[in-house]
Amino acid sequence: MEPLAPTDLNCEHLVSPRGLNTSRPRFSWALTAKGRNRRQTAYQIVVGTVREMVAGGHGELWDSGRVTSAETLLVSYGGSPLSSHLRFFWSVRVWDEDRRMSAFAEPAAVETGLMAGADWTAKWIGRPEFGRGGRPVPVASPYDNPYQARPADYLRRPFTVKEKPLRRAVAYATALGLYRLRLNGQEIGDQVLAPGWTDYHKRVEYQVHDVTALLAAGTNSLAAVLGEGWYCGRVGNTLKRQGAHYGPRPAFLCQIVLDYADGERDVVASDATWRAAKGPIVYSDLLIGEKYDARLEQPGWDEASFGDAGWEEVEIVAPWPRPPALDAARSQPVRRTEALPGRFLHRSSTGGRIYDLGQNIAGWTRLALTAPAGATFVLRHGEALTADGDLYTENLRSARATDIYVARGSGRERYEPSFTFHGFRYVEVSGPALDTADIDLTGVQVNSDTPAAGSFSCGSEMVNRLAANIRWSQRGNFLSIPTDCPQRDERLGWLADAQVFWPTASYNMDIAAFFSKWWVDIDDARQEDGAFTDVAPSRPHWAHNPYPPKGAPAWGDGAAILVWTHYCRYADKGLLEAAWPSLVGWMDYIARHNPRLLRENALNRNYGDWLNVGPATPKVMIAAAYWAHLADLMARMASILGLDEDGERFTGLLGSLKAAFREAFVDQDGRVEGDTQTAYLLALDFGLLDEKQAASARHHLLRTIAEADDHLATGFLGVRHLCPVLSDAGAVDLAYRLLLNQTYPSWGFSVANGATTIWERWDGWTPEKGFQTPSMNSFNHYAYGAVGEWLFARVAGIAPDPAAPGFRRVICCPLAHRGLGWAKAEHRAHVGRIAAGWTIAGGTVAYNLDIPANIVAQVCVPGAKRNAIRLDGEPVAGHADIIQAGETADGTWIEIGSGVWNFEWPLDRPAQRIRNAHDA
């Protein structure tokens, strides 16, 4: 038997992170191995500054020695605190169940960044466009409206590298706004829209780049382009406002640390010696778009030989009200992640060319053309076309989503924006030179580059398209933060949308680092009285903010739900500990305003079951249900953290809230107030009813679905619970019917009508009425994609066990069904790749599992006795490879370890008895 092999090394949820916010990082790894029931019994981690030494098992910074443990997730560094500007390597080897030792894994590199304020000598700088008074100077706008967008800042500084061996050079850079960094005429890094969105009054994240290979002895040139971005551009339905969220002007901060082989160190920093100018980016704004005049380019402006005598001195900028904290980037950067060729469709009614990418994306258009100097091309972006074939833009509200390119007139020209993004599938290109220009158009998908972590496919092409739409909506909205939509004038991080979708999101992508970053934004937005906010980042001093800062039920509550989901998926107890005081503060806020335990007060902007179809669910009932749900989660988290007193408090609160809920909202027949699908879904899934009430509530749920002609009628809050609750109620056939419906309202309705992402509304477009209200009608909005969790966890059977978080224990209870024919899924958890799939032949289900080393899986077979189940063609009873098995009234459970497993059992539908009894 071969020994185990450690693989997929990561540090603080990232592969080879550049920049850390702790001097004691945590290490994780997965394991691969042949054979069944393989497990780790010990590990050894080594950390050092020389890769070759670490590869050989020697680390001068830390050697854990042989540690008897099965742990592979988030093992804390145990050496002396790490210093700033340090590049180190780490590796691990493990011992298996028979004490066989593995080789050390290929070392992973980590850079610590600048972890102390004193390490920064750079100054915030900017082009003196605004003057000392801080009032903007108006610039030309292509629109007849009061919106004034600012030209980008072009900044540069020559510097000297000494004539001796350079060991290492690292650039640390960030901006209040957006920036692109260049060195000796070359772009540094592949990130875009850096540094991303944070509450800039509290913190800004910086990026770290090794630039050693780009430097040469003698004169070099460091340069940057600076845009407004989220800092002082237009965000969140604010296009009609002149001003800024965080400050009136962008600013740039950068320093390069040069380490020579002889031990000498130089620092090149942003300071008053830099020079600035305007350039070809006439303006750029996230909502308006970008105008680029190629005739204004200054060739070689970012190279050492460029003469910048006509440029002006920069200003030192003092961020208001104080300089923000500088944190290393916690998540993967935003990158270009896919390019889609545009296909010419037809001419618009105004003569423009309409192009179709075939997919709704978030990003921008890359243009290649040949045209005369001064020829202007206007690119408008939209998600759909009108019945007449024109670009549909009404749902953008006040967002312009328009880029303008003015040709240089010399050969083949290429352009893509720097500091804006749009949500779109279709592009209209117009301009006087359109008919004579040679144009190629490509759509560029842009998103936080969170690694793909899962896939789902089945025998239904409609469901496969639905799964793809869910993934595309996640890609289109996970851009620095999880936005609600990428196209209109909003693009905010709504907590309720996220909390219902987060389990699905974590199957599709590795979002551990992404949430670690967003949690800081959520906590930074928390109010002094303990209230979380509806959106994050969010600042109460935004006088123009249409969204009150204090969170609503299910929105503010989303903070705790997201932390719990993150813990279940990634076993991150450290984030749980860090979040705990804030979560308690939110619970205190609710309790302080609701002494009667019914959550009648401090509901703030109570949204209810947002955008539901059919009867509305009472908002106060939803609020009460969510409060009880939070008490349940808080009791569980307190137990994990060993906080006995808090655990007793929240367990007691849960009992009281359940009693108050039943008294106020449940009648003797088990009817929940409102008598809606969502009312029953929340009451059942949150465990708020006693046994008798729950049994009645299940039948009422089935009745409400039957009254809707076997269609869903939920909004954002109910949709996640629909198929799981029906499955638990035994109504598996009905759950599949809802999944496979293609008539309105359903997931399949949007697919049947050409959707390539998830719609915000069930009726975003219908043949009878056309487009819904343009004031609230996004075609890329992930919330209703929450059904993806059911596809992975229940249909395929890959569900985490909260008692062993991080998928260290997997619950495999697949729902095989002839309606799909077959299904398979895989999920690359931090512990390794988990794969599951089933097919049906005749009356038999064949279920195949691939479980990584060190993991335990519990296979559940509903309605089947143990003697009816086969493993490798043999009766499972007494099979030598299974760990244990047992029977319950509901079926058989089998516990197994790692390896490839092939089960067979009879296809049985005993669960349908509940549905049939209701029909009778």
- Could you give the residue numbers annotated as active site? 490, 760
* Rounded Cα gap, residues 557 and 686, in angstroms: 14
Contact between 91 and 55 under an 8 Å Cβ cutoff? The reply is yes
- Residue 423's Cβ-side half-sphere holds a number of Cα atoms within 13 Å equal to 34
At which residue do the structure tokens 């994306």 appear?
A: 361
- Rounded to 5 degrees, φ, ψ at 637 are -65, -40
Alpha carbon distance, N-terminus to C-terminus of the chain: 58
The encoded tokens of residue 431 equal 């301009």
* Rounded Cα gap, residues 357 and 104, in angstroms: 46
Closest CA to 230 of 202, 260, 255, 250: 250
Contact between 792 and 505 under an 8 Å Cβ cutoff? The reply is no
Contact between 445 and 415 under an 8 Å Cβ cutoff? The reply is no
Contact between 807 and 855 under an 8 Å Cβ cutoff? The reply is yes
* Entry field: residues in the chain: 920
At which residue do the structure tokens 């780790």 appear?
A: 40
**630 membership: H or E segment, kind and range:** helix 619-641
Task: Report how far apart, in Å, the C-alpha atoms of 174 and of each of 152, 342, 690, 876 are.
Answer: 15, 33, 55, 59
Contact between 511 and 332 under an 8 Å Cβ cutoff? The reply is no
H helix intervals, 245-287: none
In a 3-state reduction of DSSP, which class is residue 52? helix
Residue 368 burial by CB count (10 A; 0-12/13-18/19+): exposed, middle or buried? Answer: middle
Count of C-beta atoms within a 10 Å radius of residue 212: 13
* Rounded Cα gap, residues 799 and 807, in angstroms: 8
* Rounded Cα gap, residues 191 and 193, in angstroms: 7
Closest CA to 371 of 430, 412, 428: 412
* Rounded Cα gap, residues 564 and 582, in angstroms: 13
Report the DSSP beta bridge partners of residue 835.
Answer: 826, 850
Closest CA to 85 of 55, 110, 106, 59: 110
What own/partner pairs with CB < 8 Å and gap ≥ 24 does 773-777 have? 774/394, 774/395, 774/397, 775/397, 776/611, 777/395
Contact between 491 and 399 under an 8 Å Cβ cutoff? The reply is no
- The dihedral built from the CA positions of residue 316, 319, 325 and 330, taken in this order, carries a sign that is negative
Contact between 368 and 412 under an 8 Å Cβ cutoff? The reply is yes
- Rounded to 5 degrees, φ, ψ at 560 are -65, -40
- The dihedral built from the CA positions of residue 665, 670, 675 and 680, taken in this order, carries a sign that is positive
State the chain's maximal CA–CA distance in angstroms: 90
The encoded tokens of residue 592 equal 């302080």
The encoded tokens of residue 720 equal 């996640």
